[in-house]
Amino acid sequence: MAYETILYEQDGGVLTITLNRPDKLNAVTDTMLHELRDAFKQAKRDESVRAVILTGAGRGFCAGQDLASVKERDPSAGGFSYGEHLRHTYNPLILQMRELPKPIIAAVNGVAAGAGMSLALACDLRLAADTASFLQAFIKIGLVPDSGSTWFLQRLVGPTRAMELMLRGTRISAQEALDYGILNRVVPADSLMDEARALAAELAAAPTKAIGYIKRLADFAATHTLAETLEYEADMQELAGRTADHAEGLQAFLEKRAPTFQGR
């Protein structure tokens, strides 16, 4: 599938979406946001896609919003306000990623700053090259964290560290991000994509519908009471119990063999 600012490449059940503006450290433009939304829409519709990798071309993951395009959205110039822009672009994309009933792995190959860090945080699992770095850059230009950063970051690292990262705009290394709980794994830069593909292949062979239900449950539990979550778990378990993959998993257990899940 051909896009202007991203690459969309599928190998078996694994789809790799690559932010592809390497000369700009993959800084985000409106075109990229539109193309990302389309790519994740296609990933949701395509039953052959069972896991997604999000990464960046060149030496950066994503430097955040392309600031050269910000003035075009100055209300005095007839463009969107900041709030309108977020509501029409980033916000739907972040929700789309969280609601995708398939696992998304961020393979962070370089700097992830501002909204670029938000994109990584919105993924389900995060691997990073040992040369990568993370930066809540918003405060540096007098703005507030957006694209879900305030929601994701506190849940990953706790309120104390999250507040310091947001207020100071401090750049942290991949190892620090791992220590803070932002990352699942740090790997040598030259093996990042091999590691990401291996993890994606493992998840692509898993019961895909159950993964989708787990994603829904995790987000629900973050903002609901224990009693409400217990009830929702029962609802999701009812749905999972009706899938072909559950039937296969149960049969494989009884036959003492490895299951072959089809994502159905």
pLDDT, tens digit only, all 264 positions of the chain: 789 999 999 999 999 999 999 999 999 999 999 999 999 999 999 999 999 999 999 999 999 999 887 665 555 555 558 899 999 999 999 999 999 999 999 999 999 999 999 999 999 999 999 999 999 999 999 999 999 999 999 999 999 999 999 999 999 999 999 999 999 999 999 999 999 999 999 999 999 999 999 999 999 999 999 999 999 999 999 999 999 999 999 999 999 999 999 999
Residue 104 lies in a domain: yes
List the one residue out of 20, 60, 87, 32 whose CA is nearest residue 40: 32
pLDDT at 138: 95
- Assign residue 107 the CATH number of its domain: 3.90.226.10
Q: Clarify whether residues 197 and 235 are in a common domain.
A: no
Task: Assess if residue 261 is contained within a domain.
Answer: no
In this prediction, residue 25 carries a pLDDT of 97
Backbone angles phi, psi at 48, to 5 degrees: -75, -15
Rounded Cα distance between 50 and 61, Å, is: 23
Q: What is the CATH number of the domain that holds 249?
A: 1.10.12
181 shares a domain with 152: yes
97 assigned to some structural domain:
yes
- What is the span of the domain harbouring residue 220? 208-254
Asked if residue 149 and residue 40 are part of one domain, the reply reads: yes
pLDDT (0 to 100) of residue 68: 80
The per-residue pLDDT for 71 is: 60
CB contact at 8 A, 5 and 21: yes
Q: What is the dihedral of CA 110, 58, 18, 1, to 10 degrees?
A: 180
Q: Are residues 157 and 224 in the same domain?
A: no
Q: Residue 2's pLDDT is what?
A: 85
Domain check: are 131 and 115 in the same one? yes
Structure tokens, 190: 């030259």
Look at residue 192 and tell me if it is in a domain.
Answer: yes
Same structural domain, 51 and 152: yes
Same-domain pairing of 135 and 229: no
- Please state the domain count of the chain: 2
Instruction: Enter the pTM of the model.
Output: 0.94
Q: Could you give the 3-state DSSP secondary structure of residue 178?
A: helix
Has residue 260 been placed in a domain? no
Judge whether 262 lies within some domain.
no
Q: Say whether both 230 and 194 belong to one domain.
A: no
For the CA atoms of 57, 59, 60, 61, what is the dihedral angle to 10 degrees? 50
Q: Are residues 154 and 36 in the same domain?
A: yes
Per-residue confidence (pLDDT) for residue 102, from 0 to 100: 98
Q: According to the model, what pLDDT value does residue 77 have?
A: 55
- Give yes or no: residues 113 and 167 share one domain: yes
Say whether both 191 and 213 belong to one domain: no
Shared domain check, 226 and 164: no
In a domain, 264, yes or no: no
Instruction: Specify the pLDDT at position 81.
Output: 85
Give the model's pLDDT for residue 35.
98
Residue 1 is assigned to a structural domain of this protein: no
pLDDT of residue 72: 59
User: Alpha helix locations (H) across the chain?
Assistant: 30-45, 82-88, 90-99, 115-121, 149-157, 159-168, 174-180, 192-204, 208-221, 226-240, 244-254
